Structure 1
Amino acid sequence: MNNNLEIKIISTQDTLEIRHKVMWPNKPVKYIELPDDNVARHFGLFVNGEITSIISLFSIDGVVQFRKFATLNKYQGLGFGSLLLKNIIKLLEKENIKKLWCNARVEKKNFYKNFNLKTTNKLFKKGNIEYVVMERYFIQKN
């Protein structure tokens, strides 16, 4: 890959734009907004200056949930999402978090296993999509 890559914090508005395009383009933008978006940290992976992948982090007492992890369709399958998640995990390790977790679509659980997230017995369905809660614990550094 001979691309200029950069990961940086992005605005809620930039996040919503990508979420909408990738996840629910046929729904109104309000549908993909989360109640705590205003207190989340949103990150974007830029390739040659264009946001290609996004992820939103929601933290409470050293436990971080990532949500709305998405990559623009034309960039899917090129490793950009993996690169973003790998770097976010490195950042969170430096921040000495206790646990990282997500609600993963069941068909994507093997992807998240590559990042040492483990499946739990917590399963649920939203719409016609089945999800499993996946988590990773971190060793606390004093």
Structure 2
Amino acid sequence: MEIRIIQAPEVISLRHEVLRPNQPIEMCTYPDDQREGTFHLGGIKDGHIVAVGTFIQRSHETYPELTYQLRGMATSPAVRGEGYGKALLEEARNRLKAQGADGWWCNARLVAVPFYERLGLTVASESFEIEGIGPHHIMVDRF
């Protein structure tokens, strides 16, 4: 299993397939994808990107000690359960710890909450709606 840094354009097709299939592909390019401090991780299987996650250097207003936000986490349905998502987040933790970060946060879709909880994240908000996408919780990962 390979997890490595990838470039912003490489995350788009999997984001579209998994996270926003009913929206124009342009909606899968996020304003902070090219921002300084942002990094993209990819899980690679047989030369293909099968999992992606983008970490943006952005503190949460309620949790200012958490200096990175995860956005656009997606795993191909063809490899779900094989550990790519878990390995990607473990690699992100290692990189963020090495940078001196205290943790990270994300807006997690309700269907993803159990996955994040199994990896040690905690729910840190009531459910809220992101228009056009659905209900979410803020989740946090403290080191």
> Normalising to structure 1: TM-score of the pair?
0.84
Structure 1: distance between partners of 2:76 and 2:26: 19
In structure 2, the residue matched to 1:7 is 3
Does the CA contact (< 8 Å) of 2:41 and 2:54 recur in 1?
yes
Structure 1: distance between partners of 2:125 and 2:58: 22
Residue of structure 1 aligned with 2:15, choices 12, 19, 22: 19
Structure 1: distance between partners of 2:39 and 2:105: 15
Q: Which segments of structure 1 move beyond 6 Å, counting only runs of 4 or more?
A: none
Residue identity in the other structure for 2:47: G
Q: In the TM superposition, what whole-angstrom CA distance separates every residue of 1:58-112 from its partner, at most 9, and x where no partner exists?
A: 0137601011100112112222111111221122122210221001112321211
Could you list the runs of 5+ residues in structure 1 that have no partner in the other structure? none
Could you list the runs of 5+ residues in structure 2 that have no partner in the other structure? 60-65
In structure 2, the residue matched to 1:111 is 115
Which structure would you say has the larger Rg? 1
Instruction: Name the count of aligned residue pairs.
Output: 134
Residue identity in the other structure for 1:30: E
Q: Rate the CA distance shift 1:108–1:84 in 2: closer, same or farther, 3 A.
A: same
In structure 2, the residue matched to 1:28 is 24
The percentage of aligned residue pairs carrying the same residue is: 29
Residue of structure 2 aligned with 1:43, choices 34, 41, 51: 41
Q: Classify the secondary structure of the residue corresponding to 2:127.
A: strand
> Root-mean-square deviation (CA), in Å?
1.8
Structure 2: distance between partners of 1:87 and 1:108: 19
Structure that is richer in strand per residue: 1
Q: Rate the CA distance shift 1:82–1:51 in 2: closer, same or farther, 3 A.
A: same
Is 1:137–2:133 an aligned residue pair? no
Q: Classify the secondary structure of the residue corresponding to 1:38.
A: coil
